[in-house]
Amino acid sequence: ATPTAIMVGTGLGARRGVLFKNATALESAARIDTVVLDKTGTLTKGEPEVTDVLVGDALTQTELLRLVSGVERESEHPLAGAIVAYAVDQGVVPAATSDFQNVPGHGAVADVDGHRVVVGNRKLMAQQGIDVGPWLARRDELAASGRTAVLIGLDGRGAGVIALADAVRETSEQAIRELHELGAEVVMLSGDNQATADRIAGQLGIDTVIAEVLPGDKAAKVAELQATGKKVAMVGDGVNDAPALAQADLGIAIGAGTDVAIETADLVLMRSDPLDVPIALRVGRGTLRKMR
């Protein structure tokens, strides 16, 4: 690697806000054949908004929102923030809660006015022994439209579903097209429901979807791809993504992402634009060519 080629490559990237942290990052970029992208906050804007609140006969919508926002007020998850914001917007005052318990990658549980309230995915409902059977068809419908559907349990029974939508970034589709033109395989990695992830991947033309991945398992999924001989770039924004960014041959952080992701990555996309991923690979390849 000639120092001049590396300086030129680093400079080319920097002008576009594509910050290679060192020469090794630039060289790795040249060799990538597989790009794994986190869904939430990377391909999507990471700004979920409540679109639907479905509630059974046991409660009114206001009462459901009061209970659920009480629980979610204690959580730092982006879905929780969106649910609280929606409830407050509807004039609901979140209930006081006790015994709050965050279940990473699944949801949250707390006591509210003597009731046990559970908010999260189907695995959490199963763990808590909540029968959500009657709600699953509605949840699947919402998920099939690309929305994230959160189940609500109240005292051991399914009490409703809250759906949230997170808009895809304007340039995600083009970014994936360009990655394909560069010959890369594109994989989406998500903690979200399989149907939700499949729908969004379909919209974007993504080849492979790995969904319902627990926060601690993202790095292992990257390692599995590497074990088949692939040279993997991982693009992410969240605290959850940091170990996967470290595991990848090239860790790429979204500039608007969390500090841990930015610190761990080999490369930072200051404009938070997925289109800068194919640009980074091209800069890497161009640099390598000049080195020969």
| Interface residue list for Mg ion (CB under 5 A) | 38, 40-41, 237-238
Cβ proximity to Mg ion, 46 vs 153, nearer residue? 46
Mask of contacts with ligand ADP, 78-97, x by CB under 6 A? Answer: -xx-----------------
Contacts 24+ apart (CB under 8 A), 183-186: 183/33, 184/32, 184/33, 184/34, 184/35, 184/281, 185/33, 185/34, 185/35, 185/230, 186/34, 186/35, 186/37
Quick one: which of 109, 132, 150, 200 contacts ligand ADP (CB under 6 A)?
150
Instruction: Write down how long the chain is.
Output: 292
Q: Does 121 bind ligand ADP (CB under 6 A)?
A: yes
CB 159 within 8 A of CB 135: no
Cβ proximity to Mg ion, 38 vs 273, nearer residue? 38
Q: How far is the CB of 204 from Mg ion (least distance, A)?
A: 15
Q: Tell me 42's DSSP state.
A: I
* Residue 140 is among the residues annotated as catalytic for this protein: no
CB 79 within 8 A of CB 192: no
Mask of contacts with ligand ADP, 166-195, x by CB under 6 A? Answer: ------------------------xxx---
Q: What is the DSSP string of 49-96?
A: EEEEEEE-TTS-HHHHHHHHHHHHTT---HHHHHHHHHHHHTTPPPPP
Q: Does 215 bind ligand ADP (CB under 6 A)?
A: yes
3-state secondary structure of 48: coil
Cβ proximity to ligand ADP, 38 vs 178, nearer residue? 38
Using CB under 6 A, list all residues that contact ligand ADP. 39-40, 72, 75, 77, 79-80, 105-108, 119-121, 148, 150, 190-192, 215
Active site residues: 38
